[in-house]
Amino acid sequence: MGYPDNVLAGDERVVLHRHPHWKRLIGPVFVLLLATAVAAFGLGVVNHMAWEQMAKNIVMIVIAVIWLILVGWLVLWPVSNWRATHFVITDRRVMFRHGVMTRSGIDIPLARINSVEFRHGLADRMLRTGTLIIESASQDPLEFHDIPRVEQVHSLLYHEVFDTLGSEEFPS
């Protein structure tokens, strides 16, 4: 049983489970390609130098270590963060969890949601993503950035809130 199933109540069901939009991965992929190209070029240049083999090996190791540090910090860490970020709507609440080493999150009961808004610019509309803004009864509005298909999520969440409020006002 994976996330989010392991944090649900017994009769609670997941309506939607999303990670942030893949656009968050464009920068790390670009860095990976650029760092790999620069490291490969550097290794090629060092390999064709008229240095002793020991000096070549040391410089190649330094290039490889710098590449590993850059890829770990600027590629693997953001990808891990993207993978560890969850936006979940259930039939009872909205859950947002993020973080790799230190996890944090928030749960908003559907019955406490006052309004649901979305915002996206031209680039976000082309990529079908945006920011979802949820205003609950006791807090300032919460913004969730880079939600894929934000208009669909907005509509779905609105209907879930309406169904929840309807069931509380008119119990069967």
CB within 8 A of 132, min separation 6: which ones?
87, 116, 117, 118, 143, 144, 147, 150, 153, 154, 157
What pLDDT is attached to residue 1?
A: 44
Of the ranges 45-49, 59-63, 109-113, 118-122, which one carries the lowest mean pLDDT score?
Answer: 109-113
Query: Residue 116 sits in a domain of what CATH number?
Result: 2.30.29.30
CA–CA separation, 42 and 33 (whole Å) = 14
What pLDDT is attached to residue 10?
A: 83
Whether pTM exceeds 0.95:
no
Q: What Cα–Cα distance (Å) separates residue 103 from each residue in 76, 88, 97? A: 17, 15, 7
| Cis check: omega of the bond before 4, within 30 degrees of 0 | yes
Same domain? 131 vs 96:
yes
Tell me how many domains the chain contains: 2
The conformation of residue 4, written as its DSSP 8-state character, comes to: T
Q: Report whether 71 contacts 28 (CB < 8 A).
A: no
Same domain? 101 vs 69:
no
Same domain? 65 vs 131:
no
Q: Which helix (H) or strand (E) holds 115?
A: strand 113-119
- The reply to whether 144 falls in a domain is yes
Residue 93 has pLDDT above 70, yes or no: yes
Same domain? 136 vs 100:
yes
Domain that holds residue 75: 26-81
Of the ranges 49-53, 63-67, 105-109, 162-166, which one carries the lowest mean pLDDT score?
Answer: 162-166
Residue 146 has pLDDT above 90, yes or no: yes
What pLDDT is attached to residue 163?
A: 77
Same domain? 77 vs 92:
no
Residues 118-130 have pLDDT tens digits of 999 999 999 999 9
